[in-house]
Amino acid sequence: MGVIANRIWLPAAAAVPQERGTDYFAPVDGADWSDGFGWHRGFFSSFRLRAGREAWFHFPLPTSILRDGRQQALAEVSLMWEVTDGARIHWLVLQHGGMDRIPLTERETEPDSVAVPFDPPEQWRQYYPSSARRLTTIAFDPLLPLRFGVQLCVGVTAPERDGTIRFYGAGAGFADLD
C-alpha cells in the first residue's frame, strides 16, 4: 500500500438509497413521515428495511484522479455504520467509472470492523441516541489506479424481520501512483 497523500470523509447525509418507497422502508424510530424514505439526522442517516428485503446504498466519493500533476490511486475506503434488529450488511462493492464493479467483501459476509464508541458530554447526552458504531476500513493492495470516479456501495438485507441500518459516514484514502 502506498503512502496516503489525501483523505476524504463524507457525512452520513451523503448516503443515497438505490431503492425507495414503503415496499422497502418502514418508518424510522416512530417518525411516520420517514416511511419509505429513511431519516437523515445530524448524527447519522437511518433506514428501516422491511423484512425479506435487500437494499443498496451508495456513497459517491469525490475522486481526484490527478494531484499536483501525479496520477492518483485509491489506497483505502472506510465506512462507519451500525445495524440493529434484523438488518445486516451482506456485501460491500466499489464502483469505478460507474461500470467496473469491484467486490470488497464476499457476498453474504458482514465486513470486518472495529467498535467506535462515543460518549457525549453529560449536558448533551439527552440529545444523543445510544449507538454501537462500527468502522470498516478496506485497504487496496495493490493500489487501484484511478481514471474515473468511485463510489462505495453497501448491500443491506433484513431476511427475517424489519431492521435498521445507520450510516455515520464513508471515506477514502488516496495515494500518488508513482
In CATH, what class is 4-176?
mainly beta
Residue-level pLDDT, tens digit, the chain, 178 residues: 569 999 999 999 999 999 999 999 999 988 999 999 999 988 899 999 999 999 999 999 999 899 999 999 999 999 999 999 999 999 999 999 878 899 999 999 999 999 999 988 999 988 888 889 999 999 999 999 999 999 999 999 999 999 999 999 999 999 998 7
Which residues are paired to 89 by β-bridges? Answer: 156
| SS3 call for 32 | helix
Q: Is the pTM of this model over 0.85?
A: yes
- The Cα 169–Cα 44 span in angstroms is 8
Q: Name the residue type at position 97.
A: G
- Burial level of 35, CB count in 10 A (0-12/13-18/19+)? middle
User: Which pLDDT score is estimated for 1?
Assistant: 56
Domain ranges of the chain: 4-176
| SS3 call for 12 | helix
